[in-house]
Amino acid sequence: MIPVVIEDVVEGLATAQNIYKIAFRNASNENPSYKEFGEDIRKLAVNLDLLFNVLQRAEYQAGTSDKSRYNSAPGLEAQLVGNFKGTLKECEYLLNDQRYFQRSGGLIQTLSLYAQIDPEVQLLRERIKCHNLKLSIIFNILDPQVLEDRFFHIVDSTALILGHAEQIGRRAHEEEEGKPLPRPGTAYVSIPRELEDGFIRTTRQTDPDLFTLRQGLDAAISYFNRTTKTASQEVLSDVAYHVAIIDIMMAAWLIRTIRGSKEYQVVASYPSVDVSQRLLDSWGMTTERFFDFCEQALQDALRRILGRHLILPPTPDLLSIFERQRPTGQQTQQSLSLDQAKNLQQRTRDPVELADTSISNWEVEQMQRGVKEMSAHLTACSRSKVLEDFRPRLYADLATLQTDGDPLKPGFGKDFSVGRKGERNNVGASLVSCSSKLTACRDNYDLGQVQLNPSYALRTWTAPSLEPQTINFRTDQNSPFSRTLVFHQNKDMFDFQQKMTGYRVVHDEPRVLATSQESKLLGGSNRQDLGRLQLWSAPPPSKDDSKVPPSETSLSSRKRMSQASSSSNSSSKKKSTPSIFSRTSRSSSASRSTIVTHPPSYVTTSSSQNPVLFPPIAPCVVLFAHKAPTISARVEGRDISRSFLVIEIGSDVTVEEELSEEALEPSSHRCVIERKSTYLQARRSPETTDPGLWDLAAVGIQQRERETDVVKKLKHVVLQFNTHDNLRQFITKFNQVKGVATTWHMELQSDSRSRLLSILSPSLVIYEPKLESQVSTGKDSLRKGAQIA
């Protein structure tokens, strides 16, 4: 696992929160640098809070004692995560200087002579950004199941830097900002031999400490983070473009060099001494995955900044620019005024004593000797073998899944642990293509075992907000990653939640949807700040065809369990309408998902001994359309916009398959869903106008209330697919839902006719729908009633 001490995380979190509260909440200063300084500290506090939540959850599930927290080897925890405590202590020391920060009531109110300390603030900001980027990488390599409720709180610094690299590439190649990018390449971008020799020669002469693990990793991340500064320049020259490429290649070379050092082997072989640390290993929090993600992110940045053809600038130009620009860049970075140098020296002697994490001299000599041997080996080996040895291995599991993927295998969820966001691992396979692969493995759903999977989100509708409203959910239990719906209007979110849950939500609704037990599972958040969204899903088919019918308990006798736990034992609770909030079972504290005990469906016994599903509400298909804009678009506030389309399925709804005449590729197909006699009830938003954006992984059997008001009626729905396989997947699921709908309509007709006979002769006709078979139609009921009469 990645060495980390939970006490250090707690102390750093408390310090960051205290600094932000005292120094930035009430300070009256229009300096943008100071505001950005406070924002960096706030992001660090959020990231430390998420890391603490992960460590606490691991200890809670493992049941380890507090003594195990001190088993970490001294000094190792600062090698990868970094000494964020020392950085925050220096920030606290700086903000306590009354010459520049005047307080009132314990809080900083005014600032004076800020320009004198701005260089020191910039140095602290660089270190804080380094810590935030490291924590962001840790959250990226973690299993998404660990952060499924809170991953939308993560400030993804890696995605931000990749977006800036893409922006630099567009400006350098004079591409339009709104123009969609072509399919990115997957080729490995190598570092030119002459430039790599220049890295080795310059590092040995100017800063040999970069060969160590801690200093080298910090320098690599600093080089990677410089991309944001280059992208912020209004005029991008050729020199700045080449320097940005050199910075990313320098970071990639440092990461590769560090992985061959002895220090890396020591940290990578750090033993997991207890159950909680082994649990973190199983979640993906390992040193090897950390460096794998770093290498892949750097490769992705190079591909984006170089453009669509991956054409490197001439090698002599890169080497000459590096030799001309690098020494000046290092001098400007390290040149401090005499007063600042004295302050830094005095600060190290002041009460803040940092932990000694230095490496002995003989270890440094051994490591440098190993680096020399490795460089000699690189010179002797052929170039092709060098590229093959250092090719990133992060997405090897993803490639394996695309060839032979099985969601039932043990390692399936881990393979997708870094693939939650399509824009983060966009190497030619978008989220839609990955989702189609996932959907192809899950055809032929078992309709007799419908399960209920909840997902939790902040109740952001309690107060009006200018930010888009977000709901986090999973399509089904076997899905290896969560999905996020972003609603730009509260009304859209209310309509969606009402269609999915049957519970009508208004803007000023005071009702609490989460119980106290669920609040504990979500990290102790307030129940008033939590909402719950639950979706129907059907599991994959089992090999055993014989199924046991679920409990035949009447739906009307169930009680709504979304009330507070204090009122759940009340015997005077009223019966609720059919809703998927009914009949939920409380899971253990180690799990964050709740599965329904009995499927909320009416089941009749047929002659084939297979249960037949009679949903209490009309079946429908829910499609999710999503956009995948560039990272720069997300930074500007144009976040990923996903909308939904609810198609109510009846016996008269048909699907026609045809070849699209407007398709550019001959393999493009489309289907038209239409109802012959009436309009098709649907919900549409602007994103649904492009049929290529439909997310087929979310196609499944969903259910909705009959009396739900529709926002818009469509005569037909046209869906276009790139390949015939995607079209066949959709039609397969559509036919499954239509089969359920046909059975449901037959049961409705039988139910209505039987009730009519009961009204005509209530003393003679006794109707028991639970005992009727699937073959029993309305004619059998009429014949039976006539015989009794």
**Phi-psi region for residue 205, left (φ > 0), alpha (ψ -120 to 50) or beta?**
alpha
According to DSSP, residue 540 is labeled P
**Per-residue model confidence (pLDDT) at position 267:** 84
CA distances from 374 to 194, 262, 378 (A): 16, 12, 6
User: By the 8 A CB rule, do 340 and 120 touch?
Assistant: yes
Phi, psi of 108 (to 5 degrees): -75, 125
User: By the 8 A CB rule, do 592 and 144 touch?
Assistant: no
Tens digit of pLDDT for each residue in 106-137? 788 777 777 888 888 888 999 999 999 999 89
CA distances from 389 to 200, 277, 291, 381, 596 (A): 19, 30, 15, 11, 49
**Per-residue model confidence (pLDDT) at position 1:** 74
> Mean per-residue pLDDT for 380-395?
35
First to last CA, the chain: 77
What tokens does 308 get? 């669509």
**Per-residue model confidence (pLDDT) at position 494:** 62
Give the list of residues 6+ apart from residue 273 with CB closer than 8 angstroms, or none.
Answer: 68, 71
Q: Is the pLDDT of residue 779 over 70?
A: no
More confident residue, 199 or 640: 199
**Per-residue model confidence (pLDDT) at position 121:** 87
Q: Is the pLDDT of residue 256 over 80?
A: yes
Q: Compute the distance between CA of residue 635 and CA of residue 164 in angstroms, rounded to an integer.
A: 9
User: By the 8 A CB rule, do 207 and 334 touch?
Assistant: no
Q: At what angle do helices 287-306 and 213-225 cross, to 10 degrees?
A: 30
Q: Is the pLDDT of residue 44 over 60?
A: yes
Q: Compute the distance between CA of residue 116 and CA of residue 127 in angstroms, rounded to an integer.
A: 19
Phi, psi of 472 (to 5 degrees): -105, 130
**Per-residue model confidence (pLDDT) at position 545:** 37
Tens digit of pLDDT for each residue in 88-101? 988 888 888 888 88
Tens digit of pLDDT for each residue in 321-335? 887 776 444 433 343
**Per-residue model confidence (pLDDT) at position 255:** 92
Per mean pLDDT, which range of 358-362, 571-575, 633-637 is the poorest? 571-575
**Per-residue model confidence (pLDDT) at position 294:** 92
More confident residue, 500 or 582: 500
* Residues of the chain above pLDDT 70, percent: 36
Strand partners, 672: 656, 718
> Mean per-residue pLDDT for 383-396?
33
Q: Is the pLDDT of residue 621 over 50?
A: yes
Q: At what angle do helices 338-349 and 114-141 cross, to 10 degrees?
A: 60
> Mean per-residue pLDDT for 170-174?
77
> Mean per-residue pLDDT for 468-490?
52
pLDDT category of residue 632 using cuts at 50, 70 and 90 = low
Per mean pLDDT, which range of 11-20, 94-103, 547-556, 625-634 is the poorest? 547-556
Strand partners, 533: 455
> Mean per-residue pLDDT for 567-587?
30
Per mean pLDDT, which range of 301-315, 518-532, 647-661 is the poorest? 518-532
pLDDT category of residue 415 using cuts at 50, 70 and 90 = very low
Q: Is the pLDDT of residue 54 over 50?
A: yes
pLDDT category of residue 251 using cuts at 50, 70 and 90 = very high
Q: What is the pTM of this model?
A: 0.44
Q: Compute the distance between CA of residue 357 and CA of residue 220 in angstroms, rounded to an integer.
A: 19
> Mean per-residue pLDDT for 696-721?
45
pLDDT category of residue 178 using cuts at 50, 70 and 90 = low
**Per-residue model confidence (pLDDT) at position 254:** 92
**Per-residue model confidence (pLDDT) at position 298:** 92
**Per-residue model confidence (pLDDT) at position 372:** 54
pLDDT category of residue 252 using cuts at 50, 70 and 90 = very high
**Per-residue model confidence (pLDDT) at position 481:** 44
> Mean per-residue pLDDT for 411-433?
31
According to DSSP, residue 553 is labeled -
Q: Is the pLDDT of residue 213 over 50?
A: yes
pLDDT category of residue 659 using cuts at 50, 70 and 90 = low
Q: Compute the distance between CA of residue 715 and CA of residue 680 in angstroms, rounded to an integer.
A: 5
CA distances from 781 to 354, 460, 605, 756, 764 (A): 84, 51, 17, 11, 13
**Per-residue model confidence (pLDDT) at position 179:** 64
pLDDT category of residue 153 using cuts at 50, 70 and 90 = low
- Please name the amino acid found at residue 236: L
User: By the 8 A CB rule, do 141 and 289 touch?
Assistant: yes
Angle, CA of 51, 454 and 420, to the nearest 5°: 50
